[in-house]
Amino acid sequence: MTRVCLVGDPEVNLQYELLSRETSREALATYDLERPFENALAVRTVSIGAAVSLLNDLDWYLTRFVDEALVQEPSVSETEWLSRSLATELRNGDLEAGDTGEFCKIYGLERPEEPDVDQGDETADGPENAPTRPRLVEPLYVRRTDGELPEYDLRDVADTLIVRLTEAEHSP
């Protein structure tokens, strides 16, 4: 199954913005929503075509509330994501899966500290709702050379997330 992940603008509550509006709520109604990262929503679709179609249906909302729309297609990579533009090119047949790995951006993944309820580290909704999802931080734009990506070195992070890009996205 192909995954779609929408990473929200830090200034907005993405889940609220998408589910409070009738059109986007209806577009997402048939999917099980997941929250893989802080201020992000993800769904599973049947194909890269369905993923791109969903993103096209949500375009008005993506422009206003989303920083990043990502697609993960297992036939391309089990671990790396694709930018929306790259997923669209693959769906349209403009690129082959093997031609997608050269240009990338690597996000750092920061894992928040576990809330210390004894010290009062809880949200207004209680300790069970304190944020525990990883947060995407500072992307590093890189180019794969000899099949290898450079290490993420912008800050000390728990893990990384790799997003494959089109050449135009890599060097705007």
Question: In this predicted model, what pLDDT tens digit does every residue of 54-101 receive, in sequence order?
Answer: 999 999 999 999 999 999 999 999 999 999 999 999 999 999 998 999
SS3 (DSSP) at 116: coil
How many Å apart are CA 83 and CA 72, to the nearest integer?
9
CA angle 25/62/104 to nearest 5° reads 130
Most distant CA pair in the chain, distance: 56
What is the mean pLDDT of the segment spanning 98-112?
93
What distance in Å separates the CA atoms of residue 121 and residue 147, rounded to the nearest whole number? Answer: 43
Output the pLDDT for position 123. 47
Token pair, residue 53, equals 């179609």
Domain total of the chain: 1
Pairing of strands 66-72, 103-110: unpaired
**According to the model, what pLDDT value does residue 126 have?**
45
Residue type, 105: K
Q: How confident is the model at residue 171 (pLDDT cuts 50, 70, 90)?
A: confident
Least confident of 2-6, 100-104, 116-120, 141-145: 116-120
C-alpha triplet 99, 102, 106: angle, nearest 5°: 130
User: Residue 172 — very low, low, confident or very high, per pLDDT cuts 50/70/90?
Assistant: low
Output the pTM of the full model. Answer: 0.86
Q: What is the pLDDT of residue 165?
A: 97
pLDDT, mean of residues 14-20: 95
Domain that holds residue 54: 2-170
Q: Which residues pair with 82 in a beta bridge?
A: 71, 164
Evaluate whether 91 touches 98 at the Cβ level (below 8 Å). Answer: no
Amino acid at 37: F
Over residues 127-132, mean pLDDT: 56
* Strands lying side by side in the sheet with 135-143: 40-45, 2-8, 66-72, 81-83, 159-164, 103-110, 135-143
